[in-house]
Structure 1
Amino acid sequence: MSTVAPASVELAPQRELIAQACRVLAGRGLADGILGHISLRTDERRLLVRCRGPQERGLGYTTPDDIRLVDLDGGPGAQGELDGYAPPNELPLHTEVLRHRPDVAAVLHAHPPEVVAADLAGIAIRPIVGAFDIPGTRLAAGGVPVHPRGVLVRNRGLAQEMVQAMGDRPVVLLRAHGLTSAAATVEQSVLQAISIDGLARLSLRIVSAGGTLVDLPDADLAELPDLGAGFNTDTSWRHEIARLHGVVGPTAI
């Protein structure tokens, strides 16, 4: 019989959302095996985060019970929250972003292989596409900074270095490591990471085919409409959940 205490239930919907987001991240290939984690701020001192449990099976098998409430120093956020569980080693990566960025509620950390490969090859994330991925293009056009240290971000000092490199941008690449994506919502943090991964994949394919990366002209960038959160986030997120569960529409005839 398990001796692990159950998580408190008052944040059940948020736990389910984070668990879903972890599975989406794994399903998209942005975090393999047991790597990666997502957090969500709940108040000034506490956050929900994917923790390491006694039956660890990896990101793609995350359940709501794996999402535990902790404080900014890594202690339990409520009675029984960490019984049998441990926060990720890189919890400071999450907490320092939340300490320094009041505009952020959700923090994601992943290890997308193509993102790492593109950066190590000297290929920056740039707005090379247009209507192919409008949110991704706008994100890239604003700049995607790189934190040049390939370290495990396991203490506040290292995390502060990453936050400084990140500045006020929503995504920062971690050289020889992965990326961190920060947003107002869990869904947006995941969709940002998916866009960055898509741009990295395209860039690698173009360069490997002998092509040259060219930024979208300013005139074309200005013509790209903002399709709104209802489409960019809500509909996109429903797609990710359907994709995760293998839901496919009727076959065209």
Structure 2
Amino acid sequence: MTEDLRRLVSLGCRVLGDADQGDLIWGHVSARDPGGRGVWMKASGLGFEEVGPDDVLLVSWDGEVLEGTGRRHAEYPIHTEVVRARPDVGSVIHTHSPAAVALGALGVPLRPISHEANLFVPPDIARFTATGDLVLTAELGRAVAAALGDRNACLLVNHGIVVAAPDVQTATVTAYLLDRACRMQLAAMAAGGWATWSAPQESLAKREHCYPDPLLQGAWEYLVRRLDRG
């Protein structure tokens, strides 16, 4: 079980690196430890595309490295506090998706102008605005968890994104789709003129049609195949 989790976390990191969500050595993927000891999390000092199973650490609720070698990320409270607050969450991802940072800074709603945004709205995507600085304390981690609520994603305004899902596979695809949704909206806004988007009822129907669990799993499998081909 532990080896499977470490492999999945490392795969999620490499998929996101391949999707241009890396930011030098920053950003992290984690998975809930099935033994309740904390989270299995990417080690600090590595880019997403460099992470292998041996670079995934078990980090306790208080930030102690219990298994693995290397340093933990300073922002571990994002992961530990979201997992603590959400029994349904098995994986948390934080990236500095450039498109999501740009859209969040504009203060406009995320609009379902393409399929991808329907996974997140309606209602509008959650936003954390208490600080644009790093989330370095349990108190700030709890504030992020509160802003996220029961949603699958949250914009950390002027910072990045947080995604929460039952497993690494779903979390990775969710982070991928959020980045694409933000890119699509920024492209439409840059083109000027009037953009159209799905009404709430249609948006919810598209969520059910486009993103049921089996299709999200299929998207994960494709992204891993694409990574292997690269």
TM-score between both structures, scaled by the size of structure 1: 0.83
2:42 and 2:57 in contact (8 A); partners too:
yes
Q: How does 1:189-208 map to 2 (within 5 A)?
A: 189-208=171-190
- State the identity as a percent: 30
Query: What's the counterpart of residue 251 of structure 1?
Result: none
Structure 2 Cα separation of the partners of residues 180 and 219 of structure 1: 26
Query: 1:218: Cα distance to partner?
Result: 4.0
Distance 1:25 1:128, change over 3 A: same
Q: Which runs of 4+ in 1 moved over 4 A?
A: none
Query: What's the counterpart of residue 224 of structure 2?
Result: 241
Q: How does 1:115-194 map to 2 (within 5 A)?
A: 115-129=100-114, 132-133=115-116, 136-148=117-129, 149-194=131-176
Corresponding position: 1:90 with 2:75: yes
Query: What's the counterpart of residue 10 of structure 2?
Result: 19
Larger radius of gyration: 1
Structure 1 Cα separation of the partners of residues 24 and 112 of structure 2: 30
Query: 1:222: Cα distance to partner?
Result: 5.5
Structure with bigger helix share is: 2
Structure 2 Cα separation of the partners of residues 144 and 121 of structure 1: 14
Structure 2 Cα separation of the partners of residues 150 and 219 of structure 1: 33
Query: 1:223: Cα distance to partner?
Result: 4.7
Structure 1 Cα separation of the partners of residues 199 and 96 of structure 2: 30
Query: What's the counterpart of residue 49 of structure 1?
Result: 41
Query: What's the counterpart of residue 213 of structure 2?
Result: 229
1:48 and 1:68 in contact (8 A); partners too:
yes
TM-score between both structures, scaled by the size of structure 2: 0.90
Residue type at the aligned position of 2:100: V
How many residue pairs get matched?
A: 226
Q: Kindly report the root-mean-square deviation, in angstroms, between the aligned alpha carbons of the 2 structures.
A: 1.9
Structure 1 Cα separation of the partners of residues 172 and 134 of structure 2: 21
Structure 2 Cα separation of the partners of residues 87 and 162 of structure 1: 19
1:10-40, Cα deviation, whole Å (9 max, x unpaired) = 6111111110100111111112211111111
Q: Per the alignment, in what secondary structure is the counterpart of residue 14 of structure 1?
A: helix
1:86-119, Cα deviation, whole Å (9 max, x unpaired) = 2100001100001111111100000001111111
Q: Show structure 2 runs of 5+ residues with no match.
A: none
2:38 and 2:80 in contact (8 A); partners too:
no
1:141-198, Cα deviation, whole Å (9 max, x unpaired) = 2431111121100111111221121111110101111000000010111111111111
Q: Is 201-210 or 211-220 further displaced after alignment?
A: 211-220
Query: In structure 2, which of residues 17, 26, 49 is the aligned counterpart of residue 35 of structure 1?
Result: 26
Query: In structure 2, which of residues 59, 82, 88 is the aligned counterpart of residue 70 of structure 1?
Result: 59
